[in-house]
Amino acid sequence: MPDVLKNLLKRALVLGIFSGALEVFLHAESRLGLSVADRMNWLFVAILFGCLVTLSAACFAAFLHLRWGVSWGGGLIVSALLALHGALYFRFEYVLNEPVLSPKVWGPLLLILAFSLVIGWRVNRYIERGLRVQWGIAFLAVIGFFWKSQPAGSLASTDQVNVLLVTFDTTRADRLGAYGGNADTPTIDALARAGVLYEQAIAPAPLTQASHLSLLTGKALHRTGIYSNGTRLGDRPAMISHAFQDAGYRTGAVVSGFPLHGKYGWTQGFDFYEDDFGARPGLHRLSLMRAWDQLTLPGNTIRERPGRQTLSRAKSFLKRHGKGPFFLWVHFFDPHAPYEVSEKELAEAPRDGAPLNLPRYWPPAHRSITSTDWLIEAYEKEISATDALLGELLDALPEGVREKTVVAFTADHGESLTEHDYLFDHGDYLYDASLHIPLILAGPGVPENKRIACQVSGIDLSPTLRGLAGIGALDFEPGMGETLAPFDEQCEDRIAHAAAVAERYVANPPIDHALRMVLDYGGEQGKRMSKFIQHEKRENTLFDLVSDPGETQNLNPAASGVAQTAEGVLDVMLEGAADVVMPQSDPTTTDALKALGYIE
C-alpha cells in the first residue's frame, strides 16, 4: 500500500470518528431518555457513516496525488464532510418540495460544494499535522456525546400519587365497548368498571395539536391561540407537565404523531420527551440515515410510529422511573387513518362498485375500496389493537405502583365515518362525530364503576389530574377548565366549547366556534342540550341534540332567538381571546402534514 494512501486512511479514520461523534453530540438531548445500549448504537452508526464518507474521500485524494500530484488530501476529506452534510441539510430543510432540477436546488448546492472546497483547501495544512491532537478531539467529542445525552436519573420513591395519561388519536367514544360500541376493548372496559366514565365528554378541537394543548393546559383554544397542526407553541400557557415537575415528579411523554413532535415546543416541562419515530432511537437524526428515510419512506418523512414501538419506549420510562413519583403521557396514533390491515385483508376488500371519495392522503390500495362498512370495521379493529397495547402498558407498571397511580384515558378527537358525507376524516367540521370523545378516570381518589351523564369538556382534565395528585389548582380564569371532583352524579351540564380553522394553512384563517350547551326553546320543548356553531364564512347553525343527535336539521332560522342567546354567550366567552398563531410552513412540516391529511 503506498505510504500516501496509508497516511490518508489514518487521517480519514480519525476524521470519520470525530465527524460521527460531533454529529451525535449536536443532536443529543437528555430528554430522549436513551439507554446506554441505544447511545452506543447511535454512536456506532454515526461513526460508521462518517468513516464511509472520509475513507472514500481519502481513496479519491490518494488517486489525485498519485496521478497528478495534488497534495491536499486531508483538506479534501474535510471538504467531503462539509459538502455532504451541508447539502443534505439544505435539501431536506429548505427545498424539500422543490424538484431536483430546479435552480433553487442545484444552484445553492453548487455554492455549498464550492464553499466546502475552499474551506478544505484553507485547513489542509492543519489537518496534515497533529494526528494525536485530532484523536484527542475525537475522544472529547465521544465523551461530550455521552455527557449531553445522559437521561435524568430516578427519583426516590415516595407516597405521592402517580399519574398515567393515555390518549388515543382519532377515537370516537361510541365505538368503544364501554360506550356501547362494536370495537373489542376489554382493557378500556375494565378501566371504566374500576373508575368513572363520562358519557358526554367533548373535545376542544377536531385536530391533534390544538386539542392536546387544551387537554394539557386546561385552557380553551381561544385562550391558547393554537388552532392548527404544525404550529409552534412558543410562550403558550404552561402545560400540566410544569406543575408536576415543580411538585417533584419525574415527567415523561411518548408521542406517536408528527403534530406532537418536540420541534413545536412540546418538550417544555418534560424530563423525558420521546418523539423519535425511527425504528431505533436516534438513528434517523443522522444526516445520511435521514436522507435515506426521506427518499424511501412514504410522504418523504417519518411522520408517525406504530403503537408497538410507542409501548416499548413507554416501558423504558417506567423501567427507569416507574416507582415514582411520575407523570407519564402516552399517545397512541394507531386509530388515525389510513387504517392498517393485513395484506390479505386489504386484497379482499370490496371493490365491486364506485370507489369511495376518500381523503387524498389515503394510499391507492385503499382508495379503490367501495364499502364504508368494511372501512368502519377496519377502524374498529385499529381501536381494538390499540386497546390491547394499553393493556400491556398497564401491566408494565411495577408491582405495587398500579394501586397508587391515577390512570386517565381519553382521545384528542373523533372521526367522521359517514356523517355529513364526510368520509373517514376529521378537522374541517365541528359535528359530534369529531368531538364526542371517551373520558375515563381510575385510581386513588376516584370512585369505582360510576357513569356520569353530565357534559364535560376536555379542558377539565388537567385541573382534575392536578387535584387528584394533590398539587393544587390554578386560579380560575375565563376559558379555563374546572376539576371534575367530587365526581357527583348530580352534577350540571357544563358548557363545552370547541373550535377549528375553517380553511387550513392560509393567512388569517377563518375560525369556526361551537358551543354545546343547554338552551331554552320555551313552550313544550323547554330546555334542551343543543349545539350552536358560529361559522365565519357561512350561515350559523343550531341543532337540538335531543331530537336530532345526528345534527342534520339546522334550527337557526326557525329558532333565531335561541341562536342569538347562544351567540351572545359565545361573544362573552371570546372577549380578550388570544391572537391566532399561524402554523409553520417549512418544507418538512408541510410535507408531513400533507401526508397525514391535515393540509391539501
**pLDDT score at 223:** 93
**pLDDT score at 13:** 94
Confidence of residue 155 (pLDDT cuts 50, 70, 90): confident
pLDDT at 599 over 60: no
pLDDT at 429 over 90: yes
User: How many CA atoms lie within 13 Å of 356's alpha carbon, on the beta-carbon side?
Assistant: 26
Backbone angles phi, psi at 502, to 5 degrees: -75, -25
- State in words which class domain 162-477 has: alpha beta
Q: 496-501 and 511-520 as β-strands: parallel, antiparallel, unpaired?
A: antiparallel
**pLDDT score at 495:** 95
Residue 327 and residue 407: Cα distance in Å, rounded? 10
Based on the number of CB atoms within 10 Å of its own CB, is 510 exposed (0-12), middle (13-18) or buried (19 or more)? Answer: middle
pLDDT at 61 over 50: yes
**pLDDT score at 17:** 95
Name the residue among 7, 20, 22 with its Cα closest to residue 58. 7
DSSP code of residue 531: E
Does a cis peptide bond (omega within 30 degrees of 0) precede residue 338?
A: yes
**pLDDT score at 360:** 84
Domain boundaries of the chain, sorted by first residue: 3-148, 162-477, 510-573
Whether residue 230 contacts residue 589, with contact meaning beta carbons closer than 8 Å, is answered with: yes
**pLDDT score at 300:** 42
SS3 451: strand
Based on the number of CB atoms within 10 Å of its own CB, is 305 exposed (0-12), middle (13-18) or buried (19 or more)? Answer: buried
Give the contacts of 10 (CB within 8 A, at least 6 positions apart): 131
Q: Using a CB cutoff of 8 Å and minimum separation of 24, what contacts does 547-554 make? A: 549/432, 550/419, 551/419, 551/420, 551/431, 551/432, 552/420
Whether residue 73 contacts residue 4, with contact meaning beta carbons closer than 8 Å, is answered with: yes
Whether residue 254 contacts residue 285, with contact meaning beta carbons closer than 8 Å, is answered with: no
**pLDDT score at 505:** 61
Higher-confidence residue of 455 and 281: namely: 455
Mean pLDDT value across residues 69-96: 89
Name the residue among 392, 356, 393, 353 with its Cα closest to residue 372. 356
Return the C-alpha cell found at 136.
484527542
At residue 550, what is the residue type?
G
Name the residue among 109, 111, 103, 104 with its Cα closest to residue 88. 109
Name residue, grid cell 455527557. Answer: 147
Task: Please give the model's pTM, rounded to 2 decimal places.
Answer: 0.92
**pLDDT score at 277:** 86
DSSP code of residue 504: T
Q: 436-437 and 162-168 as β-strands: parallel, antiparallel, unpaired?
A: unpaired
DSSP code of residue 400: T
Dihedral sign of CA atoms 39, 401, 269, 155 in order: negative
**pLDDT score at 508:** 76
Return the C-alpha cell found at 457.
369538556
At residue 364, what is the residue type?
P
**DSSP E strand boundaries for 193-235:** 195-202
**pLDDT score at 594:** 56
The per-residue pLDDT of the chain, averaged, comes to: 90
**pLDDT score at 110:** 95
Mean pLDDT value across residues 10-33: 94
pLDDT at 135 over 80: yes
**pLDDT score at 478:** 74
Name the residue among 566, 454, 552 with its Cα closest to residue 519. 566
Confidence of residue 60 (pLDDT cuts 50, 70, 90): very high
Residue 351 and residue 373: Cα distance in Å, rounded? 12
pLDDT at 587 over 70: no
DSSP code of residue 581: B
DSSP code of residue 183: S
Backbone angles phi, psi at 45, to 5 degrees: -65, -40
Phi-psi sector, 439: left (phi>0), alpha (psi -120 to 50), beta: beta
175-222 per-position pLDDT tens digit: 999 999 999 999 999 999 999 999 999 999 999 999 999 999 999 999
Residue 567 and residue 577: Cα distance in Å, rounded? 15
Mean pLDDT value across residues 512-537: 93
Q: Which of 255-259, 279-283, 524-528 has the lowest mean pLDDT?
A: 279-283
Mean pLDDT value across residues 294-323: 83
